[in-house]
Amino acid sequence: MQQAPINFFEEGQVLLINKPLEWTSFDVVRKIRNTIKIKKVGHAGTLDPLATGLLILCTGKFTKRINEYMAQEKEYTGTITFGATTPTYDLESEPQDLKDYSTITREQLQAIAQQFTGEQLQVPPMHSAIKKDGKRVYELARKGQTIELEPRRIVIKEFEFTAIELPVVHFRVVCSTGTYIRSLANDVGRTAGCGAYLSSLCRTRIGAFTLDQSMTMERALEWVKEMKNEG
């Protein structure tokens, strides 16, 4: 079988991948890069290890478009668990400060969702990859240091709670780039008065790209190998 031109991926391709649970975004990049065997492979927007869903990978000349994709509107679904907080705002750390959540009502949740819809200032989580004085703040957080982070302007276009099974509440959110869903979950819990943390997250859309257009990691690796071997 004739080899496909090596520049197929160097000329630029966009891969839509459903990131597996517990993989870092860079794990996906590294696996694809090692399979393609070119250096220019990058992703357009980090997903935390405990999140799943749409990850855009760009190869070759298309890596110049990464910032363009990153700037686009994003949609997520997931769950928020009420009645506790965690230092990382998700399940990367253990729940603590347990409180009664039994008085939460559907009407209260609807009001909270409305309160967090629109343009607002959001403080990023301490356990994030943001740099402060040249260091990742999560590295400082792991050493027990508390850093005051500046709030960032974000836009939450749509925010709704889709199912209530207390202490777990399912949600859907459409937001601007730079929005931390972990911070949103923490802020919602503080507003509700009983604390909350992000217990699951799936990115379902980036701009016009949707999760149902994506490939599993296994299928993506198969496709890369097929394209390298096709003549």
If asked whether residues 90 and 177 sit together in one domain, one would say: yes
Provide the residue range defining the domain that includes 88: 74-206
If asked whether residues 196 and 214 sit together in one domain, one would say: no
Amino acid identity, position 80: I
pLDDT higher than 60, residue 15: yes
pLDDT (0 to 100) of residue 145: 57
Q: Per the domain annotation, does 212 fall within a domain?
A: yes
pLDDT (0 to 100) of residue 123: 85
The b-or-e profile of 153-180 (16+ CB within 10 A means b, else e) is ebebeebebeeeeebebebebbbbbebb
Q: How far apart are CA 47 and CA 56, in angstroms?
A: 10
Point out the catalytic residue in the list 27, 48, 97, 187: 48
If asked whether residues 25 and 87 sit together in one domain, one would say: no
Q: Per the domain annotation, does 1 fall within a domain?
A: no
Q: How far apart are CA 56 and CA 188, in angstroms?
A: 29
If asked whether residues 110 and 171 sit together in one domain, one would say: yes
pLDDT (0 to 100) of residue 2: 45
Q: Per the domain annotation, does 42 fall within a domain?
A: yes
Q: How far apart are CA 155 and CA 82, in angstroms?
A: 24
> Judging by DSSP bridges, how do beta strands 14-19 and 51-59 pair with one another?
antiparallel
**Strand boundaries in the chain, DSSP class E:** 14-19, 41-43, 51-59, 74-82, 118-122, 131-132, 135-136, 152-165, 168-175, 196-206, 209-210
If asked whether residues 63 and 82 sit together in one domain, one would say: no
Tokens of 64: 């110049």
pLDDT higher than 70, residue 141: no
If asked whether residues 123 and 171 sit together in one domain, one would say: yes
Q: Coil, strand, or helix at residue 8?
A: helix
pLDDT in tens, 150-207: 789 999 999 999 999 999 999 999 999 999 999 999 999 999 999 999 999 999 999 9
If asked whether residues 109 and 196 sit together in one domain, one would say: yes
pLDDT higher than 70, residue 11: yes
Q: Per the domain annotation, does 38 fall within a domain?
A: yes
Look at the chain and report how many structural domains it folds into: 2
Q: Per the domain annotation, does 56 fall within a domain?
A: yes
If asked whether residues 163 and 221 sit together in one domain, one would say: no
48 is annotated as an active-site residue: yes
If asked whether residues 64 and 117 sit together in one domain, one would say: no
Tokens of 58: 């760009």
If asked whether residues 56 and 139 sit together in one domain, one would say: no
Q: Per the domain annotation, does 2 fall within a domain?
A: no
If asked whether residues 174 and 86 sit together in one domain, one would say: yes
If asked whether residues 134 and 184 sit together in one domain, one would say: yes
pLDDT (0 to 100) of residue 231: 45
Q: Tell me the whole-structure pTM to 2 decimals.
A: 0.88
pLDDT higher than 80, residue 149: no
Amino acid identity, position 97: D
pLDDT in tens, 21-79: 999 999 999 999 999 888 899 999 889 999 999 999 999 999 999 999 999 999 999 99
What CATH number does residue 188 fall under?
Answer: 3.30.2350.10
Q: Which residue has the tokens 């590295």?
A: 139
